[in-house]
């Protein structure tokens, strides 16, 4: 179902090349048209349908709208062909439900380049109906009168021939009109010479209609014919004549009945949103021909159902056009436009990647094989965002490169086409173009953000812009609007050949306005609106990085981001720690490293943060943020000296993270086994230093699980009071870990709560702790696959590079072996713990394992316990004995 692509054929001397206009399947659109046509046929054949009812709501129009280059004209042509005959319909489209009905498609191109006037619209519809082979007297007489009044001395036949209508529809129309005139003259018994004069015939006919003479009873059924014949012959009157055409179609006998389907293409060229003169005339045609079906294709949603247009158009509002109305619950500017659209307004969507590849593969072939290689097709598809126009432009570029004597390569198609800008901007006002370029800087926007980024004082241009099909909508998004991906990248990246291109300074000023507007939304957020915080940061970081802007509010936003320990993906793409030139570059890399550390080995985190610190681009407080989190990463890797140095620097700085750094020093003391120092420090930390969680971390190594669980619960509740999501989940995970050793039943519910609190929070190390807690909960059971689960968990831990977590895993395994009295396995695990803690940190883990297995210590321990080693040994051994007894007595 593809015609020859003449542009491609005449772009090369390669005679073995086959170039076709590949039509990629639009089956969904066809199904919508077919369903609407079937419904329309049911309505017009119903007993109560009256073609002269001018008050009844209209359901005879369907709109396909979409961005320029999406394939609307191709769709319009394919619909025309498919409706004309089954042989022109793609097989996959199937057989329509109206089989047997006579459909007459009439396609009219309203593009400015086609020069189609309103007269041409009316004449085209009548010329197409010449296929009926009979006059349509009511309409023909009125049209003949109009023509002779407005075009004196100009032959209608010659006009039709010159405009191409005679060649398209044949030459029968003028003869049919003359025949109608003669038939009426004969019915009125007018002399021959008088009967050929249109004015005389119309005058006599009007009088006869007013007097209700039997001689004109066939036309007397058209109630408004006399009024139209008496009206002044001008364009306004012509716009009402389609009513006569509709009436004539309704008089056809059943065996002659036909359903005209009038396809109006390039509707955006009918006029702008301010001057709707031509649109008003065309709308009148649609309204006055309710027994015809209209398929309109254009760039914008048809606004006829908008009550605000009352006065500009004759028929407006949802009561007049129910199928064109948007749901009352969703304002027009916020209405979602999924592939099906709403009612009879359908957004023509982008091609899928598979459709793009198929289109390119079939456009240029030699000996039945695609000329464009698969790797080039993949690059073009990726950059096209599914826009057919981009595919076509890429095909022409492919041939252009071949003409230059080179073999096209994939890199040749990492390319923007200025023609896309011209197509996009062509029907926008200057203010709308200004807003478009401004929002091209943003991933998503709302009306306020668009207006502020453009530096305008009124929202009208932004309101008009969001009605355009290249603005996509997501009513559930933080900001509901975003530009079509290809349009956005082209507006920003291609050479702008418009009459009003932006300079580099213009782009910088727009970026500054957009960043300031995002800052206002960040500052005005109520409560702990995490979604708005992250959204503002993502867009703000990109703007600041790309345009080398000052940080401003981004510094405060960065602190708000880290305070919750949630770690959503944040940084824009293409971050590179080796190319840090501005504070914005450094902040992007800092926050990206913090978020990505949940998915990267901690050594990589250290390297990235070291690059940020070494750049000396950040203000002191953010420099301390990098120092603190690098110190945490060093601790995770087991590098306590480096961690201690970093924590001490941050603590001495007395900045925002000083309490956290003091907590870090307490953790380091605990890791070294100096529990009295750690506990004393914990009492000084307060909420900012997470004092309750630090105490819980001290009590569980002593085997005092109840005390540890209480401390973790207090930490969780305190975090909830302060609205710190990450800390709440972290404290709950550690509470579940503590209870897993002493109360498996309670640990079950505590783990479930931990998983609930950690949902949507990206904290990898904490998640691993919950998995270790689940092993400890199941310790001693023979049906829990402890060893297999531990092996999988160990691999995850090693991938993350969180050294201390692997030690905790071995500690859980020694508990399992002690409960089962597996001395050999316990000894092997203890040996591994001793080897892995030889550096001094967590050396007491080996002591704890020995306490559980009731084994003596091989050497004196450097650990300083709160109440001595013997009390700690007794508590741990009691936990092992209690679990062993519980499992032995359980059914």
Q: Report the C-alpha gap between 629 and 624 in whole angstroms.
A: 9
- Among 137, 138, 157, residue whose Cα is nearest residue 147: 157
For residue 127, what are the contacts with CB-CB under 8 A and spacing of at least 6? 160, 165, 166, 168, 169, 173
Lowest-confidence segment of 203-212, 294-303, 837-846 by average pLDDT: 203-212
Dig out the tokens for 92 from the structure.
Answer: 């996959």
Query: What's the average model confidence in pLDDT over 568-580?
Result: 64
Q: Report the C-alpha gap between 359 and 390 in whole angstroms.
A: 12
Q: Report the C-alpha gap between 789 and 768 in whole angstroms.
A: 12
Phi, psi values for residue 685, rounded to 5°? -80, -35
- Among 675, 677, 593, residue whose Cα is nearest residue 632: 593
Torsion of CA 640, 642, 646, 648, to 10 degrees: 60
% pLDDT > 90, the chain: 49
Decide if 487 contacts 416 (C-beta within 8 A): no
For residue 317, the model assigns a pLDDT of 92
Instruction: List beta partners, residue 262.
Output: 106, 294
Which residue did the predictor score with more confidence, 92 or 782?
782
Torsion of CA 364, 367, 368, 372, to 10 degrees: -30
- Three-state secondary-structure class, residue 228: helix
% pLDDT > 70, the chain: 91
For residue 462, the model assigns a pLDDT of 93
β-bridge pairing 364-366 and 369-370: antiparallel
Whether residue 13 is predicted with pLDDT greater than 90 in this model: the reply is no
**Category of 343 on φ-ψ map: left (φ > 0), alpha (ψ -120 to 50) or beta:** left
Write the DSSP assignment of 404-443 as a string of letters.
TT----GGGGS---HHHHHHHHTT--HHHHHHHHHHTT-S
Whether residue 425 is predicted with pLDDT greater than 80 in this model: the reply is no
Tell me the average pLDDT of the chain.
86
Which residue did the predictor score with more confidence, 333 or 27?
27
User: Angle, nearest 10°, between helix axes 620-636 and 640-653?
Assistant: 150
Decide if 541 contacts 587 (C-beta within 8 A): yes
Q: Report the C-alpha gap between 369 and 372 in whole angstroms.
A: 9
Place of tokens 């404290």: 731
Q: Report the C-alpha gap between 787 and 812 in whole angstroms.
A: 11
For residue 495, the model assigns a pLDDT of 65
For residue 329, the model assigns a pLDDT of 38
CA distances from 756 to 262, 494, 729 (A): 58, 47, 8
Query: What's the average model confidence in pLDDT over 544-559?
Result: 94
Q: Report the C-alpha gap between 14 and 10 in whole angstroms.
A: 10
For residue 165, the model assigns a pLDDT of 87
Q: Report the C-alpha gap between 264 and 108 in whole angstroms.
A: 5
For residue 215, the model assigns a pLDDT of 62
**Category of 133 on φ-ψ map: left (φ > 0), alpha (ψ -120 to 50) or beta:** left
Q: Report the C-alpha gap between 826 and 646 in whole angstroms.
A: 36
Helix (H) or strand (E) segment spanning residue 105: strand 103-109
Query: What's the average model confidence in pLDDT over 425-440?
Result: 88
Place of tokens 């001008």: 234
Q: Report the C-alpha gap between 810 and 415 in whole angstroms.
A: 55
- Among 782, 852, 859, 786, residue whose Cα is nearest residue 823: 852
Query: What's the average model confidence in pLDDT over 483-506?
Result: 80
| Angle at the Cα of 648 from the Cα atoms of 647 and 651, rounded to 5 degrees | 85
- Among 306, 255, 8, residue whose Cα is nearest residue 132: 255
Q: Report the C-alpha gap between 142 and 126 in whole angstroms.
A: 12
For residue 460, the model assigns a pLDDT of 92
Whether residue 224 is predicted with pLDDT greater than 90 in this model: the reply is no
Dig out the tokens for 646 from the structure.
Answer: 């970093």
Q: Report the C-alpha gap between 553 and 332 in whole angstroms.
A: 33
- Among 90, 131, 117, 114, residue whose Cα is nearest residue 260: 131
Which residue did the predictor score with more confidence, 467 or 673?
673
Q: Report the C-alpha gap between 773 and 883 in whole angstroms.
A: 15
For residue 169, the model assigns a pLDDT of 86
What's the predicted TM-score (pTM) here?
0.66
Whether residue 338 is predicted with pLDDT greater than 60 in this model: the reply is no
Band the pLDDT of 341: cuts 50, 70, 90: very low
Q: Report the C-alpha gap between 623 and 636 in whole angstroms.
A: 20
Write the DSSP assignment of 511-546 as a string of letters.
HHHHHHHHHHHHHH--S--HHHHHHHHHHHHHHHHH
Across 185-250, where does the E strand assignment appear?
Answer: none
- Lay out the sheet containing 293-298: strands in order across: 103-109, 259-265, 293-298, 61-65, 345-347
Q: How far apart are the first and last CA of the chain?
A: 73
For residue 752, what are the contacts with CB-CB under 8 A and spacing of at least 6? none
CA distances from 800 to 597, 646, 755, 833 (A): 8, 21, 19, 19
Band the pLDDT of 335: cuts 50, 70, 90: very low
Whether residue 531 is predicted with pLDDT greater than 50 in this model: the reply is yes
- Alpha-helical regions (H) of 474-503: 485-493
Decide if 834 contacts 807 (C-beta within 8 A): no
For residue 21, the model assigns a pLDDT of 57
* pLDDT tens digits for range 860-890: 778 999 999 999 999 999 999 999 999 988 7
For residue 6, the model assigns a pLDDT of 58
- Among 654, 627, 629, 631, residue whose Cα is nearest residue 641: 631
- Among 455, 462, 512, residue whose Cα is nearest residue 483: 462
How far is it between the farthest Cα atoms of the chain?
135
Query: What's the average model confidence in pLDDT over 817-827?
Result: 91
- Lay out the sheet containing 3-4: strands in order across: 3-4, 18-21, 364-366, 369-370
Place of tokens 């013997």: 870
Phi, psi values for residue 365, rounded to 5°? -135, 160
Helix (H) or strand (E) segment spanning residue 165: helix 165-169
Q: Report the C-alpha gap between 757 and 747 in whole angstroms.
A: 15
Decide if 502 contacts 477 (C-beta within 8 A): no
Q: Report the C-alpha gap between 667 and 682 in whole angstroms.
A: 9
- Among 357, 352, 325, residue whose Cα is nearest residue 341: 325
For residue 16, the model assigns a pLDDT of 64
Size (the chain), residues = 891
Phi, psi values for residue 68, rounded to 5°? -55, 130
For residue 336, the model assigns a pLDDT of 38
* pLDDT tens digits for range 744-767: 999 999 999 999 999 878 788 899
- Among 209, 242, 241, 245, residue whose Cα is nearest residue 228: 241
| Angle at the Cα of 271 from the Cα atoms of 265 and 273, rounded to 5 degrees | 115
Q: Report the C-alpha gap between 607 and 660 in whole angstroms.
A: 22
* pLDDT tens digits for range 507-519: 999 999 999 999 9
CA distances from 413 to 74, 375, 394, 401, 578 (A): 24, 11, 7, 10, 28
CA distances from 672 to 196, 663, 814, 846 (A): 115, 14, 21, 13
For residue 439, what are the contacts with CB-CB under 8 A and spacing of at least 6? 445, 449, 450, 453, 454, 465, 481, 483
Q: What is the DSSP letter of 469?
A: T
Q: Report the C-alpha gap between 808 and 792 in whole angstroms.
A: 15
């Amino acid at each position: 179902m593809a015609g020859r692509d003449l542009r491609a054929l005449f772009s090369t001397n390669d005679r073995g090349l086959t170039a076709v206009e590949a039509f990629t399947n639009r089956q969904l659109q066809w199904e919508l048209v077919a369903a609407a046509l079937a419904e329309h046929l049911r309505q017009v054949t119903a007993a109560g349908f009256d073609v002269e009812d001018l008050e009844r709501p209209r359901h005879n129009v369907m709109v396909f709208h979409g961005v320029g280059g999406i394939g609307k004209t191709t769709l319009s042509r394919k619909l025309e062909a498919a409706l004309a005959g089954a042989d022109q319909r793609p097989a996959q489209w199937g057989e329509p439900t109206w089989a047997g009905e006579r459909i007459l498609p009439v396609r009219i191109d309203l593009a400015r380049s086609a020069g189609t006037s309103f007269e041409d619209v009316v004449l085209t519809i009548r010329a197409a109906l010449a296929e009926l082979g009979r006059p349509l007297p009511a309409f023909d007489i009125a049209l003949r009168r109009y023509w002779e009044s407005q075009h004196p001395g100009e032959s209608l036949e010659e006009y039709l021939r010159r405009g191409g209508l005679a060649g398209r529809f044949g030459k029968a129309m003028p003869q049919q009109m003359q025949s109608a005139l003669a038939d009426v003259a004969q019915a009125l018994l007018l002399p021959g010479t008088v009967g050929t004069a249109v004015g005389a015939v119309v005058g006599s006919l009007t009088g006869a209609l007013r007097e209700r003479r039997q001689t004109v009873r066939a036309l007397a059924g058209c109630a408004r014919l006399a009024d139209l014949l008496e009206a002044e012959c001008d364009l306004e009157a012509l716009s009402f004549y389609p009513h006569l055409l509709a009436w004539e179609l309704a008089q056809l006998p059943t065996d002659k009945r036909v359903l005209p389907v009038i396809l109006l293409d390039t509707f955006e060229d009918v006029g702008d949103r301010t001057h709707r003169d031509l649109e008003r005339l065309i709308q009148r045609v649609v309204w006055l021909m309710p027994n015809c079906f209209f398929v309109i294709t254009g760039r914008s949603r048809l606004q006829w159902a908008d009550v605000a247009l009352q006065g500009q158009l004759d028929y407006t509002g949802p009561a007049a056009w129910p199928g064109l109305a948007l749901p009352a619950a969703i304002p027009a500017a916020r209405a979602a436009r999924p592939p099906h659209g709403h009612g009879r307004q359908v957004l023509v969507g982008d091609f899928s990647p598979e459709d793009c590849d198929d289109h390119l593969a079939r456009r240029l072939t030699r000996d039945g094989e695609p000329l464009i290689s698969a790797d080039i097709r993949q690059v073009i598809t990726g950059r096209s965002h599914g826009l057919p126009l981009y595919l076509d432009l890429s095909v022409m570029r492919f041939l252009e490169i071949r003409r230059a004597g080179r073999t096209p390569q994939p890199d040749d198609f990492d390319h923007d086409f200025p023609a896309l800008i011209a197509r996009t901007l062509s029907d926008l006002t200057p203010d709308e173009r200004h807003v478009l370029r401004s929002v091209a800087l943003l991933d998503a926007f709302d009306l306020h953000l668009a207006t502020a980024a453009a530096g305008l004082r009124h929202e009208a241009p932004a309101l008009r812009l969001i009605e355009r099909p290249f603005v996509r909508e997501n009513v559930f998004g933080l900001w509901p609007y975003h530009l079509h991906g290809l349009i956005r990248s082209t507006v920003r990246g291609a050479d702008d050949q418009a009459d009003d291109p932006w300079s580099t300074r213009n782009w910088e000023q727009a970026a500054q306005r957009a960043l300031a507007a995002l800052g206002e939304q960040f500052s005005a957020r109520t409560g702990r609106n995490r979604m708005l915080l992250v959204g503002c940061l993502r867009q703000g970081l990109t703007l600041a990085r790309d345009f080398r802007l000052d940080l401003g509010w981004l510094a405060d936003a960065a602190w708000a981001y880290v305070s919750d320990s949630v770690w959503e993906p944040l940084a824009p793409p293409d971050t590179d720690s080796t190319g840090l030139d501005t504070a914005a570059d450094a902040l992007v890399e800092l926050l990206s490293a913090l978020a990505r550390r949940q998915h990267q080995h901690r050594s990589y985190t250290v390297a990235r943060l070291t690059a940020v610190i070494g750049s000396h681009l950040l203000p002191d407080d953010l420099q301390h943020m990098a120092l603190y989190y690098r110190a945490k990463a060093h601790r995770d890797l087991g590098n306590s000296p480096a961690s201690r140095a970093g924590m001490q620097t941050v603590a001495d700085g007395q900045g925002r993270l000083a309490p956290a750094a003091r907590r870090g020093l307490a953790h380091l003391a605990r890791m070294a086994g100096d529990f009295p120092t750690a506990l004393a420090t914990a009492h000084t930390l307060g909420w900012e230093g997470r004092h309750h969680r630090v105490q819980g971390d001290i009590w569980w190594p002593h085997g005092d699980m109840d005390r540890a669980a209480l401390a973790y619960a207090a930490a969780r509740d305190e975090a909830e009071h302060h609205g710190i999501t990450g800390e709440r989940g972290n404290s709950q995970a550690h509470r579940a870990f503590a209870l897993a050793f002493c109360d498996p039943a309670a640990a079950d519910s505590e783990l479930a709560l931990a998983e609930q609190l950690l949902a949507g929070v990206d904290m990898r190390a904490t998640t691993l702790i919950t998995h270790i807690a689940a092993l400890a909960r199941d310790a001693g059971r023979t049906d829990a696959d402890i060893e297999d689960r531990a092996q999988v968990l160990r691999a995850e831990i090693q991938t993350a590079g969180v050294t201390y977590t692997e030690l905790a895993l071995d500690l859980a395994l020694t508990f399992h072996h002690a409960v089962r009295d597996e001395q050999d396995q316990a000894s092997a695990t203890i040996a591994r713990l001793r080897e892995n803690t030889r550096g001094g940190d967590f050396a007491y883990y080996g002591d704890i394992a020995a306490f559980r297995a009731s084994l003596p210590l091989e050497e004196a321990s450097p650990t300083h316990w709160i109440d001595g080693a013997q009390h700690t040994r007794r508590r741990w051994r009691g936990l092992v004995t209690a679990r062993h007894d519980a499992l032995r007595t359980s059914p």
